[in-house]
Amino acid sequence: MTRAAKKTSEKPGKPEKPAKKAATGKKAAPAKKAAPARTSKTSRTSAGTSAGKSAASGSAAVKKAVPPKKVAVAPEKATAAVGKASSVRTVAPKSRKNESHTALVRRARRIDRELAEVYPYAHPELDFENPFQLLVATVLSAQTTDLRVNQTTPALFAKYPTPEDLAAADPEEVEGILRPTGFFRAKTRSVMGLSRALAEEFGGEVPGRLEDLVKLPGVGRKTAFVVLGNAFGRPGITVDTHFQRLVRRWQWTEETEPDKIEAAVGALFPKSEWTMLSHHVIFHGRRICHARKPACGACPIAPLCPAYGEGETDPEKAKKLLKYEKGGFPGQRLKPPQSYLDAGGRPAPPLAAG
């Protein structure tokens, strides 16, 4: 082989050097770039770990957000609370059983002050001119209205003005006069019996002591306190049906026996206020706080009454339940509650007496 041919045969081998460089040279950089991809496995691992931690913390937060085991109990407690709240009135709470004695005294006296403003003219609604007439009229008022008694007693006292006269009367004539009051036979025995006792034991005069009055036929503590408070000016609490109903609605006491109610309520007020307290409560019971359907929407003491809502709460409907004397509001000093007033601030038209 000639030297020229030899050079020619060697020339094609030269381009192989760049190929070597391509295998081992600078073009290996892309392979180096793949290295971060391999290291990204580590970063992915760390990222996965952090993500796992965040997911775990998130699940822990979710677990914390949902109270374990209490979820099933909470609705029952909530329902009970709502049920209890539903019985609570907008104006006043339904129950004040946890009320302290001091708070009870303050609330009771505030109620009496409010009623005194509404009924400044409160008085015994039986007509009488002396203690004897008041005693007889009070005995006759059992199981009937004061209005009926006031319609009956004028004829009785005109014919029998003194205890001696009534004690010596013909029972049948007395029964005929007392017939409209109901239970006229029993009432005849009572009024004639107490008249006889007054004539024989007290010289025809009504005694001014509780222990003497309760010994008379047909006379109990209620009747005795009516006579003592209004004929002799001696304080007493008259526990009639209206009084019993209202003081229990107001949760002044839970007692049911008149003597115990008298003692419980008497402990809330000064003795000097007992007589007028009785009048205020009885007036309110006859006019607004009725037994079957109290006029709650027209009641001036609604914010203080735990029983608010037992009756009609709509002011317009409640106003129709009010009972006034004939001729409108009795007394010149009456300050009617807001529900009694019409749009112009004047007293609403009077209702028929009931």
Residues annotated as catalytic are 222, 240
Q: What is the dihedral of CA 17, 21, 24, 27, to 10 degrees?
A: -150
Beta bridge partners of 341: 347
Question: Going by C-beta distance under 8 Å and a sequence separation of 6 or more, which residues neighbour residue 81?
Answer: none
Euclidean distance between CA atoms 280 and 37, whole angstroms: 95
Question: Going by C-beta distance under 8 Å and a sequence separation of 6 or more, which residues neighbour residue 55?
Answer: none
Q: What does the block give as tokens for 284?
A: 């309110």
* HSE of 133, CA atoms in CB hemisphere, 13 A: 19
Euclidean distance between CA atoms 188 and 90, whole angstroms: 50
Euclidean distance between CA atoms 122 and 74, whole angstroms: 52
Distance, C-alpha 351 to centroid of its chain: 27
Q: Taking a C-beta distance cutoff of 8 angstroms, is the pair 259, 276 a contact?
A: no
The 8-class DSSP code of residue 329 comes to S
Distance, C-alpha 311 to centroid of its chain: 11
Euclidean distance between CA atoms 91 and 317, whole angstroms: 17
